[in-house]
Amino acid sequence: MTFDLKSYLAHQQTRVQEALEKLLPRTDAMPPVLHDSIRYSVLAPGKRLRPILVLASAEAVGGHSEDVMKTACALECIHAFSLIHDDLPCMDNDDYRRGRLTNHKVYGDAMALLAGDALLAFAFQLIAENMDTAPADRILPTLHLIARASGTWGMVGGQVVDMQSQGHDFTPEILQYIHAHKTGALLTASVLAGAMLCGGTKAQIDSLKRYGEHIGLAFQIADDILDITGDQDKLGKPIGSDEERDKATFPKLFGLEESRRRAHEEVRLALTTLESFEERAEPLRAIARYIIERDL
């Protein structure tokens, strides 16, 4: 029987949404406006790709996905922090995200900045609180991994080089650095976190690291392509912004056709890393294929 990814994603999205609803600070706790602002962005409709990767990789190594739910939600909080800050006037100055006004357009720049700061810290609180269902000696390396992937060795480092590259010539090596760090690092950390918390073997972790790196690159190439060919109603944000900002992208360097070919090749390589995994890695295989077929 073929694996039904659509149902799998819908089911996991609902589970993650319910967990986030419960875990995020409530709006009747002090300071309510900060919690409103946090909930506005995190609970907005997103694909929940990072938390779903945490759940799917836990399953792939024979673990129980409910045992890693807090860390899965933490990854979504870090992602939401990056989106809120990325949209600020001092960065991309965007008005729409996930089909609604950006956080600073509703709550103002200062509250958006603080909501992002609070979300990053809250994410690490959640990972530590995952000790209710995962042992401390697995939590510590997971915390270290996610911290590295979020800061200067990962997402923030990639964002800085991305900003610096705007309006300048860039090499394939710089483009590779930007994509691997800005987007790839957090996606890879999501894949590794689920397996690490559920006691995946060294061989499984090594394979999943390569899987994460390949799908991370495929995801970002697909994102670059969607910014040219996508439907802005589906994407929930305007298209064409990369070209307008003269950003370093795959289509700019290699053209659309070669970019599509490279994205397919990354997915093919991602699938080869899962060859030694059993049937229970089917969600990870299907997610790899979906990453370049998606239209949002």
3-state secondary structure of 44: coil
Give the CB-side neighbour count of residue 3, counting CA atoms within 13 A: 15
Task: Provide the minimum distance between the beta carbon of 4 and ligand GRG in the complex, in angstroms, as a whole number.
Answer: 20
Is 188 near ligand GRG (CB under 6 A)?
no
Q: Please report, as residue ranges, which positions from 105 to 164 form the binding site for ligand GRG (by CB under 6 A).
A: 155-156, 159
Between residues 22 and 234, which has the closer beta carbon with respect to ligand GRG?
A: 234
58/291 with CB nearer ligand GRG: 291
- Count residues binding ligand GRG (CB under 6 A): 16
- Residue of 8, 9, 42, 46 interacting with ligand GRG (CB under 6 A): 46
Report the residue closest to ligand GRG, judged by CB. 46
| Pick 67 or 105: Cβ nearer ligand GRG | 105
69-108 residues near ligand GRG, rule: CB under 6 A: 79, 82-83, 85-86, 98
Are 45 and 70 within 8 A, CB to CB?
no
Q: Are 184 and 212 in contact (CB under 8 A)?
A: yes
Q: How far is the CB of 145 from ligand GRG (least distance, A)?
A: 17
**Residues in CB range of 58: below 8 A, 6 or more apart:** 64, 65, 67, 68, 194, 195, 197, 198
Strand partners, 83: none
CA distances from 34 to 85, 104, 133 (A): 15, 12, 29
Three-state DSSP class for residue 96: strand
CB atoms within 10 A of CB 244: 10
If the CB atoms of residues 20 and 61 are measured against ligand GRG, the closer one turns out to be 20
Footprint on this chain of ligand GRG (rule: CB under 6 A): 46-47, 49, 79, 82-83, 85-86, 98, 155-156, 159, 182-183, 220, 223
